Chain A
Amino acid sequence: MLIILLLIGLAGCGTSQVQEKEGYNYISPEELKSKLEANEEMVLLDILVEEEFAKGHITGSISTCAYPVESDEDRARLAAVVPKLKENELPIVIVCPRGGGATRTYDYLAGEGIATDRLLILSGGFDKWPYEEFVSQEAVVLDKEKGEVRVKAKVNAKYFETVTRHGLVFEGGSNGDKAVLTGLGSEKVFHDFLLELGAKPGNNLDATAEFKGHHVEGDLLDVLITWQGLGKEIPLGDAIIQSGEQLPMQIRFGGNIERANKFNTGCILCLDSCPVGIVSDASHPYGSVDDMGKEFRGNKDVLPPDGTIVTVIFRLAEE
């Protein structure tokens, strides 16, 4: 294990802890908090990667996903916001995960002609930001206007190659690594948001043998998936390959919050009727995978590459 840990360093992509460098302007979390409380106008320029930004960022930040600001691709992401930054003379607070990429962002923006007296780096980066009241997340979002719940997730290419019964599972759950899509937000929050949306849970299954062969009940949901650059939403069913007969996906709000709390599996969407997953596919009865040999895997011809952040959208469907 020691050798593996040493090798991790060799594999590159190290992260450096923040050390305030001379020649750069810094702002402490306390100072920034007081400015936010006073509603002072400023630009919060966030360079966290998409996954980290979705999990949490300072409210009102502009996302650039430019971290670690080392490649041309990273700098191109910053270049996209430069015209917007030049529209005014407001102070720009650069928010980095730990601070390592912030100085490179600072240098890049200064090189693009933005006055250095406008540029400030948040000391300690977002990792050292203690004020939860100024943090927003996009991992699970309830959009009442659109009538949908959106969950950010990461593609797991392992299940393009091997089989699973899990469609979408929260990374913090015990099954977090066992799904085609690893969710960034909690299944419990997702459950509560579906209730707020007005969906009715079935709660008709239990994790005992007598329920094998039963189908999950509850409100029917349309489930779609999209990601940056796709430009459209596609049905989640297109992204999943089934063995045997291809049945159309019928995702229902099973509920199951008691068992979700008890087992803490993180299951958001199961590919067969499930007594633990918050939603699951009613086309396949409980036990389809374990007892009837049904197999599911991600469709690599449809889904983007491993690690891509996708948004899974849940809307109430008409029966």
Chain B
Amino acid sequence: MAGINKLLQVISTGFVLGFLLALLGLQWFWLEMRFNVGLFIPLAMVISLIGYGVKPVRKYFNRITSGKVYVVTCLIIVALLVFKYGLSGSQVIPAAILRELLAIPGYGLVHYNRIILVMFCLGLLSYYFEFCVKGFVSLMSLIKTGGGKQHEVQGKANPSAHHLTANRFSRLRY
């Protein structure tokens, strides 16, 4: 379950980072006229997957796949869209970027907007799921060790209690 959730985080983080790159690429007229800026999206997703899959770089990559980075990237995208294109343009530009990339016959902007929304929500949900699981494990640890104060006392008396909690957290950090 945790593996699937991590994979979702990796993919959706790649998606939003790629999307931000595509949006920035769109601002450079020369590039936009000569290149499909939507290609930044699969490129970032592939790099994310490589980063996750290759052990030596995973520890660096894990810093990028955090809920904070994800939410901040999403907020930057929304801010850039609204300030640059307004509300009506914000419904067109992201979908148009994805349309240029996927070019599915018969699909209108509304369908591409749906795909983007689902991708963004999947990422948010996966990070929220991780947050909830961490909270739950932390709560369970506290209950098992008999509360904060007792935990502190026990910790002093028996350092292995601290290690137990820390180990559980480290396992969840993937």
The residue of chain A having its C-beta at the shortest distance from the C-beta of B103 within the complex is A177
| The residue from A157, A164, A177, A289 contacting B36, defined by CB atoms under 8 A apart | A177
The yes or no answer to B152 lying at the interface (CB within 8 A) is no
The yes or no answer to A38 lying at the interface (CB within 8 A) is no
Assess the A161–B89 pair: CB atoms within 8 A.
yes
Shortest Cβ distance from residue B34 to the other chain A in the assembled complex, whole angstroms? 9
Assess the A306–B109 pair: CB atoms within 8 A.
yes
| The residue from B8, B92, B118 contacting A158, defined by CB atoms under 8 A apart | B92
| A156-B96, A165-B33, A290-B30 known; A7+B115 contact, CB < 8 A | yes
Complex Cα distance, B33 from A165, in Å, reads: 8
| A8-B102, A164-B33 known; A307+B11 contact, CB < 8 A | no
The residue of chain B having its C-beta at the shortest distance from the C-beta of A10 within the complex is B118
The yes or no answer to B111 lying at the interface (CB within 8 A) is yes
Residues of B within 8 Å of A12, CB to CB, are 111, 114
The yes or no answer to A135 lying at the interface (CB within 8 A) is no
Assess the B11–A3 pair: CB atoms within 8 A.
yes
Question: What 0/1 readout, one digit per residue, does chain A (165-183) give for beta carbons within 8 Å of chain B?
Answer: 1100000000101100000
| The residue from B45, B93, B99, B103 contacting A1, defined by CB atoms under 8 A apart | B45
Complex Cα distance, B85 from A158, in Å, reads: 11
Residues of B within 8 Å of A161, CB to CB, are 85, 89, 92-93
The yes or no answer to B104 lying at the interface (CB within 8 A) is yes
Residues of A within 8 Å of B119, CB to CB, are 3-4, 7
Shortest Cβ distance from residue A84 to the other chain B in the assembled complex, whole angstroms? 27
Complex Cα distance, B93 from A8, in Å, reads: 18
By secondary structure, the B interface counts as helix
| A3-B11, A306-B109 known; A157+B118 contact, CB < 8 A | no
**A: interface residue count bin:** 20 to 34
By secondary structure, the A interface counts as loop
The yes or no answer to B42 lying at the interface (CB within 8 A) is yes
Shortest Cβ distance from residue A188 to the other chain B in the assembled complex, whole angstroms? 21
The yes or no answer to A15 lying at the interface (CB within 8 A) is yes
Assess the B33–A157 pair: CB atoms within 8 A.
no
Complex Cα distance, B106 from A307, in Å, reads: 9
Residues of A within 8 Å of B15, CB to CB, are 4
| A3-B119, A157-B96, A177-B100 known; A11+B106 contact, CB < 8 A | no
Shortest Cβ distance from residue B108 to the other chain A in the assembled complex, whole angstroms? 5
The yes or no answer to B174 lying at the interface (CB within 8 A) is no
Complex Cα distance, B103 from A289, in Å, reads: 27
The yes or no answer to B47 lying at the interface (CB within 8 A) is no
The yes or no answer to B107 lying at the interface (CB within 8 A) is yes
The yes or no answer to B29 lying at the interface (CB within 8 A) is yes
Residues of B within 8 Å of A160, CB to CB, are 89, 92
Assess the A178–B109 pair: CB atoms within 8 A.
no
Complex Cα distance, B118 from A11, in Å, reads: 9
The residue of chain A having its C-beta at the shortest distance from the C-beta of B97 within the complex is A158
Residues of A within 8 Å of B26, CB to CB, are 162
Assess the B104–A8 pair: CB atoms within 8 A.
yes
Complex Cα distance, B26 from A13, in Å, reads: 28
Complex Cα distance, B93 from A177, in Å, reads: 13
Complex Cα distance, B122 from A3, in Å, reads: 10
Residues of B within 8 Å of A175, CB to CB, are 33
Complex Cα distance, B87 from A264, in Å, reads: 36
Shortest Cβ distance from residue B24 to the other chain A in the assembled complex, whole angstroms? 13
Assess the A307–B108 pair: CB atoms within 8 A.
yes
| A161-B92, A164-B33 known; A49+B106 contact, CB < 8 A | yes
Residues of A within 8 Å of B36, CB to CB, are 177
Shortest Cβ distance from residue A6 to the other chain B in the assembled complex, whole angstroms? 10
The residue of chain A having its C-beta at the shortest distance from the C-beta of B110 within the complex is A11
Residues of A within 8 Å of B115, CB to CB, are 4, 7-8, 10-11
Q: List chain B positions with a Cβ less than 8 A from chain A.
A: 8, 11, 15, 26, 29-30, 32-33, 36, 42, 45-46, 85, 89, 92-93, 96, 99-100, 102-104, 106-109, 111-112, 114-115, 118-119, 122
16 A-B pairs within 8 Å (CB atoms) are namely A1-B46, A4-B15, A7-B115, A8-B104, A11-B112, A12-B114, A13-B111, A157-B109, A160-B89, A162-B85, A163-B29, A164-B33, A165-B33, A178-B33, A290-B30, A306-B109
Q: Nearest 8 pairs between A and B by C-beta? A: A158-B96, A161-B89, A11-B111, A177-B100, A11-B114, A157-B92, A7-B115, A161-B85
